[in-house]
Amino acid sequence: MIKEKIRKDIFNVAKQLDIHCNDQFMVEVPNLKTHGDFSSNVAMVNSRLNKLKPMELAEKLADGLKKKKDYRKVEVAKPGFINFFLANSFYHKMLVNIVNAGDTYGSSDYGKKRKVLLEFVSANPTGPLNVVSARAAAYGDTLFRVMTFVGFHAFREFYINDAGNQVDILAESVELRYRELHGERVGEFPPEAYHGEYVRDLAVRLNAQEGSKLFHISEKDRLEKMKLFALEEIHKMQLESLKRFDVTFENWMSEKKLRQEGILEEALSYLAEAKCTYESDDAVWFSSSKFGDEKDRVLIKSDGNPTYFVPDIAYHLTKFQRGFDIIIDVLGPDHHGYVPRLKAAIQALGHDVNKLEIVYLQHINLFEQGQQVKMSKRAGKIITMDELISEVGKDAARYFFIDRKPSSHLNFDLELAKKKSNENPVYYCQYAHARIASILKKAKNDKITLKKFDIKNLKKLDKPDELSIIKHLIDFPGVLILLADNREPHRLASYTYELAGMLHKYYAVHQISDPDNLELSQSRLFLITAIQNVLAISLHLMGISAPKKM
């Protein structure tokens, strides 16, 4: 992290010169190259404190900083900026570090082993995963990979709503299809039932296993059997889809299990102890409005059953009991009205609500030939995650889902994702990686080797584009930390795309491997080795393959 280094240098010089310096100032990359590799507003921020004009203060600091050998030039500009130009030797030193670090480059102990729970996807076990789940899967998994890489102790968790109303309806839907198989006329399929073709498949498979036997047991037992069968099968389907997407979970939390273990009662009794519940209209209420929710919420319905809210409270209670430092829920946009009451419950239970973070992923619109693909859940006409993966491939799908920041609506262009051309950013990134592999192979054939590489040779790397590539490579660890802190995987997609672009441009202008120019070639091969290393790491963190050949 160069910015940190420069900050430290500034602080040191200020101390030596007896200049007051608070930490409010910034070090950043200016828009214009003529303004240096980095610049700082330190003199402007601290001018009042030192009773000096910004320009005067800047001059003083700059004089001290000029003495450091990592800077080629330190200059002062108009309102009071200090501009830093780094020495080539500094870049070369960093480049060697990058290659030496290998696939650990960018990793750090930044997260200080803080325990992080990432809950995402958590789709109802009532059907195949859809594209929204796919976005959540790509988002959550990439965030997990990066947070782990920068030193957090992260866990992925999938919460299965395998109890309650929805799964009863699922069982009834299977029942109807099962009856149909046995020649019964079930008439119009109820609108609230699950219409998807997979329900029929489930019935067929159940029938293959059990035949008409199920008619000889009570309806209650039969429905229970169907429920278990359907849940098991759908869970396997979802697991399989996620596996195709290279996403796994450390833990699957079952709502049914929470109920069986009495966590719901536990949560309810804590709320009662905290005097946050009361009875009214034959129902039990939670006084969530005490904690900022807009109104109180029902916990136990007048029919004696808990609302879906209760298991959610119980589930979150376990998250806190398990001792996580950071708890991240990745939710769809339709849940944001729900969060205030959840946070109210956490406060009522006496836990630190600040540990809970909610990330809302916005909706996805699929486009095909410029037309939005209309999806209707009722008619069972949805595009599943599996169909999407088959259609565009895992790599493209994961990239496209990560490419936008979570709060943006995502327009997914199916045509573009399938294209194998420069228009498709996924291939653009992968091709850069493959291209390097190809150059390295060629160099090997030409007997240009990198073994026992002498750092002095890197002096040949002095072109502006070479230095800005190295600069970009040096940024990598900082990008990962920024990404982890802000929970914004899209930064990695942009970063990778930019790096790939730099390689392609570099390739177009310079002969990298040239047997007639051994020393220069070795320097350049060293550079592209570093690029390839970083490309491979970023692609891996995004769950995208890094091919050697395309």
The interface with RNA within residues 486-525 (CB under 7 A) comprises 486, 488, 490-491, 494, 501, 504-505, 507-514
Number of residues that bind RNA (CB under 7 A): 90
Is residue 549 part of the contact set for RNA (CB under 7 A)? Answer: yes
How far is Cα 286 from Cα 278, in angstroms, rounded to an integer? 7
The helix (run of H) or strand (run of E) holding residue 359 is: strand 356-360
Nearest 5°: CA angle at 377, between 370 and 206?
A: 130
Is residue 538 part of the contact set for RNA (CB under 7 A)? Answer: no
Mask of contacts with RNA, 431-470, x by CB under 7 A?
x--xx-xxx-xxx---------------------------
The answer to whether 316 touches 346, Cβ cutoff 8 Å, is yes
Is residue 279 part of the contact set for RNA (CB under 7 A)? Answer: no
The answer to whether 346 touches 319, Cβ cutoff 8 Å, is no
Is residue 374 part of the contact set for RNA (CB under 7 A)? Answer: no
Q: Which of 104, 408, 456, 463 binds RNA (CB under 7 A)?
A: 408
Structure tokens at 281: 């209209």
Is residue 205 part of the contact set for RNA (CB under 7 A)? Answer: no
In DSSP notation, 240-275 reads: HHHHHTT---SEEEEHHHHHHTTHHHHHHHHHHHTT
Is residue 372 part of the contact set for RNA (CB under 7 A)? Answer: no
Which listed range, 143-151, 201-209, 220-228, 304-312, lies at the site for RNA (CB under 7 A)? 304-312
Structure tokens at 532: 């390839």
Q: CB of residue 106 vs RNA: minimum separation in angstroms?
A: 15
Q: CB of residue 207 vs RNA: minimum separation in angstroms?
A: 28
Nearer to RNA, 208 or 508 (CB): 508
Q: CB of residue 437 vs RNA: minimum separation in angstroms?
A: 7
Nearer to RNA, 206 or 489 (CB): 489
Is residue 301 part of the contact set for RNA (CB under 7 A)? Answer: yes
Closest CA to 412 of 473, 370, 455, 458: 370
Q: Parallel, antiparallel, or unpaired: how do β-strands 71-77 and 81-86 relate?
A: antiparallel
Is residue 191 part of the contact set for RNA (CB under 7 A)? Answer: no
Q: What is the dihedral of CA 43, 49, 52, 56, to 10 degrees?
A: -20
Nearer to RNA, 182 or 442 (CB): 442
* Residue 228 identity (one-letter amino acid): L
Mask of contacts with RNA, 16-55, x by CB under 7 A?
----------x-xxxxx-xxx--x-x--xx----------
For residues 121-140, which are near RNA according to CB under 7 A?
A: 124
How far is Cα 240 from Cα 508, in angstroms, rounded to an integer? 42
Which listed range, 142-150, 216-224, 269-277, 398-406, lies at the site for RNA (CB under 7 A)? 398-406
Q: Strands, E, within 469-533: which ranges?
A: none
Mask of contacts with RNA, 377-396, x by CB under 7 A?
--------------------
Which listed range, 137-145, 260-268, 333-341, 535-543, lies at the site for RNA (CB under 7 A)? 333-341
The answer to whether 361 touches 139, Cβ cutoff 8 Å, is yes
β-sheet bridge partners, residue 1: none
Q: CB of residue 83 vs RNA: minimum separation in angstroms?
A: 5
Nearer to RNA, 417 or 541 (CB): 417
Is residue 420 part of the contact set for RNA (CB under 7 A)? Answer: yes
Nearer to RNA, 49 or 550 (CB): 550
* Residue 43 identity (one-letter amino acid): A
Q: CB of residue 170 vs RNA: minimum separation in angstroms?
A: 11
Nearer to RNA, 214 or 481 (CB): 481
The answer to whether 193 touches 172, Cβ cutoff 8 Å, is yes
How far is Cα 352 from Cα 354, in angstroms, rounded to an integer? 5
Task: Spell out the residues 6+ positions from residue 159 whose beta carbon is closer than 8 angstroms to its own.
Answer: 119, 122, 252, 253, 255, 315
Mask of contacts with RNA, 147-166, x by CB under 7 A?
--------------x--xxx
Mask of contacts with RNA, 345-364, x by CB under 7 A?
---------------x-xx-
Q: How far is CA 32 from CA 17, 28, 38, 74, 295, in A?
A: 30, 12, 10, 15, 53
Nearer to RNA, 44 or 313 (CB): 44
For residues 214-243, which are near RNA according to CB under 7 A?
A: none
- Please count the residues of the chain: 550
Q: Which of 23, 63, 221, 282 binds RNA (CB under 7 A)?
A: 282
Q: Strands, E, within 62-114: which ranges?
A: 71-77, 81-86
Nearer to RNA, 16 or 486 (CB): 486
How far is Cα 531 from Cα 533, in angstroms, rounded to an integer? 5
Is residue 303 part of the contact set for RNA (CB under 7 A)? Answer: yes
Q: How far is CA 116 from CA 93, 123, 279, 510, in A?
A: 35, 21, 37, 45
How far is Cα 499 from Cα 311, in angstroms, rounded to an integer? 46
Tell me if residue 130 falls in helix, strand or coil. strand
Which listed range, 174-182, 260-268, 388-396, 415-423, lies at the site for RNA (CB under 7 A)? 415-423
How far is Cα 471 from Cα 478, in angstroms, rounded to an integer? 12
Is residue 411 part of the contact set for RNA (CB under 7 A)? Answer: yes
